[in-house]
Chain A
Amino acid sequence: MDSLLPLEDRGGPAQPLLLATGLRKHFPVAGGLLGRSRKVVRAVDDLSLSVAKGETLGVVGESGCGKSTVARLLIRLIKPDRGTMVLDGDPVDEPHGITVNELRRQVQMVFQDSYASLNPRLTIAETLAFAPKAHGLPAAEARARVRDLLDKVGLDPANYAERYPHELSGGQRQRVNIARALALRPRLVILDEAVSALDKSVEAQVLNMLVDLKTELGLTYIFISHDLNVVQYLSDRVLVMYLGKIVELGSVEAIYGNPQHPYTRALLSARPSMDPRRRTKEAPIQGDPPNPIDPPSGCRFRTRCPFAEDVCTRVEPPLADIGTQAVACHMRVVGSGHSKAATP
């Protein structure tokens, strides 16, 4: 038994592990006359989400839609302009809540770039022992933990503990990054494109390992990826983002089986076919995603949406609960004025 114990579940199984409300992050952009431009990138705009205990929440969306910014806000690598967070009942960074440091013990993150995330001058053992020691774990216990962590991610401690990052393959480095994220016994692990740089055969190894670790350690995951197939494979619920906003949120069955938002549908049917007899005949939508600096008014998807109407330009669609999932589209808002919407 060591002194950095796994954390107890506090509020009971039904209380969300993490609740974020109204998160907003706008980045100022340089440029403009005399550098006095007031333009901002609206990376994340009034986004709310909850993560249930023990689930895997998948996050998908195209490059620049704000997935990584959400992740960095959730572990407070960056401070939100607005919005609040509650971790298992405790408000974060508020007088009666928990500190950002405590949050970062319970919520850990794994990034895509396995090499840049590791210090090249430290051995794997030193890297893995770093955080536990900083949290006061005695040296002998830290050594035992390093061996245990390497075992858990499928790297033989006798063979790998004393190696340096450049002596490992990409897949092995990513295993080390996952081990490091587990070193403080977190409850929530945010995986931001954590398998995206790996080759398929190695990706499969790491995905199997993530499934095993989740069961063994009772973890909760937020799994961010642009690979829709991998998100479908791992997730219980899926959140679809477009230009800093949630466009659809629901169970993996609802999102993949019965997508409601035109963007979700386009994204899913843009997946290359695996069957040479049924190749894609037509691209589901044309054009590129617009610049997040000046997102379109109203519905941000309207410039590429085949169903856009006048109301879509004027009014931003709310994220409406339709039972099986939540959708931000005027076609699904009763009385919105869209010709395909139900009238009250």
Chain B
Amino acid sequence: MSELLQVRDLHVKFVTPDRTVNAVNGVSFDVKRGETLGILGESGSGKSVTLRSILRLHPEHRTRWGGSIKLEGDEVLTMGKSALSDLRGQRVAMIFQEPATAFDPVFTIGHQIAETVRRHTGKGEADSWSRARELLEMVRIPSPAQRLKAYPHEMSGGMRQRAMIALALSCNPALLLADEPTTALDATVQIQVLLLIRELQREFNVGVIFVTHDIGVAVEVSDRIGVMYAGKIVELAPVEQMVDAPRHPYSRGLLASTVHDGMRGQRLEAIPGAPPDLAEVPTGCSFAPRCKFVQPNCIVRPPDLREMGGSHLVRCVLADVQEAGVAA
């Protein structure tokens, strides 16, 4: 697996006359071809902003950037117009929670997928349509030949989601960005789509970044999981290590407070309080006001992301101590 994407110390700040939002405050990670990185975090933690930064989708005039995003060596943050449109249309594809935004309601699904195929491969009309049919088949849409002629509103939610995946893969991207693509789906449909994404990822050998607030979903699809809090990745580890032995107090709290099988009758371990206001640049650990292990040096300066062995990274002053089992 070769390095596909490198994000280093990414900062994203939105500035308007009446307020500033420090949405992403120093995020670093890599994604290889053929691997899935799950990004897990609560509402407002900066998951979508991080993801959309890779396509530079934020309003240019009021977004302040810092750091670096490199796709196969090319710097995205300073990329020119034509390279950027190449990036958006060909090298990186994105799927979202709401497929309605991916499709134009006035054209058929087939027209839109065939059009993308034609643009990217220079194939003729007939070949593009037959590729579109293949793609619908690949995402398991029943009777694909007929479905090519359907308009987006004529499909069920699950079917539209599959069609959006087909559209995303139609340009043969190197990197697929998935922003909660199954959150709005029913349970029995969600699992089908998750398995489909897992399978297509192997088949197309794409790198995937899968953003979700659902631990179970992250566990189903990810090779590694990064936990985000207040615009930072506070812990990054292979999925087994993250589930078996989370190190950061926030990741631990998140896992402990998630209700699952066999917790009936037990009192839940809730994390007190709520996430911080993103108007201020954090001076110390952003989790300090809610952390039961907080100590004086936590609020002096933001803790660094430290390597705990086995590519397990933790952003907490206690990381070493916990390793020794003291705070466990």
- When distances are taken between beta carbons in the complex, the residues of chain A under 8 Å from B271 are 201, 204-205
Q: Verify B188–A270 contact, CB threshold 8 A.
A: yes
Alpha-carbon gap, A277 to B219, bound state (A): 9
The answer, yes or no, to whether A169 is at the interface (CB within 8 Å) is yes
Q: Are A226 and B259 in contact (CB under 8 A)?
A: no
* A257-301 interface code vs B (CB 8 A; 1 in, 0 out): 000000000110011111111011011111111010000000000
Residues of B within 8 A of A199 (CB): 42-43, 213
Contact pick for B261, options A62, A232, A276, A287, CB 8 Å: A232
B219 touches A279 (CB 8 A): yes
Which one of B219, B258, B263 contacts A276 once the chains associate, using CB atoms below 8 Å?
B219
Question: Does B321 make an interface contact (CB < 8 A)?
Answer: no
B60 part of interface (Cβ distance < 8 Å)? no
**Contact indicator B216/A169 (Cβ below 8 Å):** no
Selected contact of B186 from candidates A63, A200, A273, A284, CB within 8 Å: A63
With a cutoff of 8 Å between Cβ atoms, the chain A residues found around residue B159 in the complex are 288
A200 / chain B contacts, CB cutoff of 8 Å: 42, 213, 215, 254, 257-258
Number of interface residues of A (CB under 8 A): 47
Q: Are A280 and B214 in contact (CB under 8 A)?
A: no
User: By the criterion CB–CB under 8 Å, are A266 and B270 in contact?
Assistant: no
Whether A207 pairs with B268 at a CB distance below 8 angstroms is: yes
Q: CB-CB < 8 A to B216: which residues of A? A: 271-274
Given contacts A200-B258, A270-B187, A270-B191, contact A205 B270 (CB under 8 A): yes
Total contacting residues, chain B, CB less than 8 A: 43
Let me know if A208 is at the binding interface, CB within 8 A. yes
Q: Are A62 and B257 in touch, CB under 8 angstroms?
A: no
* Complex interface: chain A residues within 8 A of B192 (CB): 283, 286
A52 at the interface (CB under 8 A from B): no
B144 at the interface (CB under 8 A from A): no
* With contact pairs A62-B188, A252-B264 given, residues A204 and B257 touching in the complex (Cβ less than 8 Å): yes
- Within 8 Å of chain A (Cβ to Cβ): is B83? no
Asked if A337 is at the interface (CB within 8 A of a chain B CB), the reply is no
Interface positions, chain A 218-269, Cβ under 8 Å from B, are: 226-230, 232-233, 252, 256, 266-267
Q: Are A275 and B43 in contact (CB under 8 A)?
A: no
Chain A residues whose CB sits within 8 angstroms of the CB of B219 once the complex forms: 272-276, 279
Residues of A close to B214: CB separation below 8 A? 272
Per the bound structure, the CA–CA distance linking A170 and B44 in Å amounts to 12
Residue pair A284, B268 in contact (C-beta under 8 Å): no
B240 within 8 A of partner (CB):
yes
Q: Which residue of B lies closest to A252 (CB)?
A: B264
- Taking CB atoms and an 8 Å cut-off, the chain B residues in 219-272 that contact chain A are 219-220, 239-240, 243, 253-254, 257-261, 263-264, 267-272
Is A202 a contact of B274 with CB atoms below 8 Å? yes
Contact B191 A280 (CB under 8 A): yes
Contacts of A309 in B (CB 8 A): none
Please tell me if A113 contacts chain B, counting CB pairs below 8 Å: no
CB of B260 within 8 A of CB of A276, answer no
Q: Which residues of B contact A203 (CB under 8 A)?
A: 257, 259
Given A232-B261, A273-B220, are A204 and B269 neighbors across the interface (CB < 8 Å)? yes
Q: Does B15 contact A (CB under 8 A)?
A: no
A233:B189 contact, CB within 8 angstroms: no
Contact of B254 among A201, A256, A279, A289 (CB under 8 A): A201
Output the least CB separation between B289 and chain A (Å): 13
Compute how far the CA of A233 lies from the CA of B159 in the bound complex, rounded to whole angstroms: 32
Does B272 contact A272, Cβ atoms closer than 8 Å? no
B243 in contact with A276 (CB, 8 Å): yes
Q: Are B187 and A271 in contact (CB under 8 A)?
A: yes
- Cβ contact within 8 Å between A226 and B187: yes
Partner of B220, one of A169, A205, A252, A280: A280
From residue B62, how far is it (CB to closest CB) to chain A in Å?
A: 22
CB distance from A211 to the nearest CB of B (A): 8
Q: Is A171 an interface residue when CB atoms closer than 8 A count as contact?
A: yes
Task: Tell yes or no: B195 within 8 A of A by CB.
Answer: yes
A63-B186, A233-B264 are known contacts. Are A276 and B257 too (CB-CB below 8 A)? no
A275 touches B243 (CB 8 A): yes
Contact assessment for A228 and B243 in the assembled complex, using a CB-CB cutoff below 8 Å: no
> Which residues of chain B are near A208, meaning CB under 8 Å?
267-268, 270
B4 in contact (CB, < 8 A): no
Task: Assess whether B270 is in contact with A288, with CB atoms less than 8 Å apart.
Answer: no
- Chain A residues with CB below 8 A from B37, complex form: none
B217 within 8 Å of A by Cβ?
Answer: yes
With the chains together, A280 CA to B220 CA distance in Å? 7
- Please report the C-alpha to C-alpha distance between residue A273 and residue B186 in the assembled complex, in whole angstroms: 16
B274 contacts A171, C-beta separation under 8 Å: yes
Whether the Cβ atoms of B186 and A226 lie closer than 8 Å is yes
CA distance A202 to B254 in the complex (A): 10
Q: B261-301: which residues lie under 8 A (CB-CB) from chain A?
A: 261, 263-264, 267-272, 274
Tell me, in angstroms, the Cα distance from A280 to B216 when the chains sit together: 11
Q: Are B194 and A272 in contact (CB under 8 A)?
A: yes
**Could you list which residues of chain B lie within 8 angstroms of chain A, going by C-beta atoms?**
42-43, 140, 142, 156-159, 186-192, 194-195, 213-217, 219-220, 239-240, 243, 253-254, 257-261, 263-264, 267-272, 274
17 more CB-based (< 8 A) A-B contacts, given A275-B219, A283-B191: A63-B186, A170-B43, A199-B42, A200-B215, A200-B258, A201-B257, A203-B259, A228-B187, A229-B263, A256-B261, A267-B188, A274-B219, A276-B239, A284-B191, A286-B140, A287-B158, A288-B186
6 residue pairs bridging A and B, Cβ less than 8 Å apart = A204-B269, A204-B270, A211-B267, A233-B263, A277-B240, A285-B188
Give the 5 A-B CB pairs with smallest separation, nearest first: A272-B216, A204-B270, A204-B257, A199-B42, A201-B271
Which residues from chain A sit less than 8 Å from chain B, CB to CB?
62-63, 169-172, 199-205, 207-208, 211, 226-230, 232-233, 252, 256, 266-267, 270-277, 279-280, 282-289, 291, 304
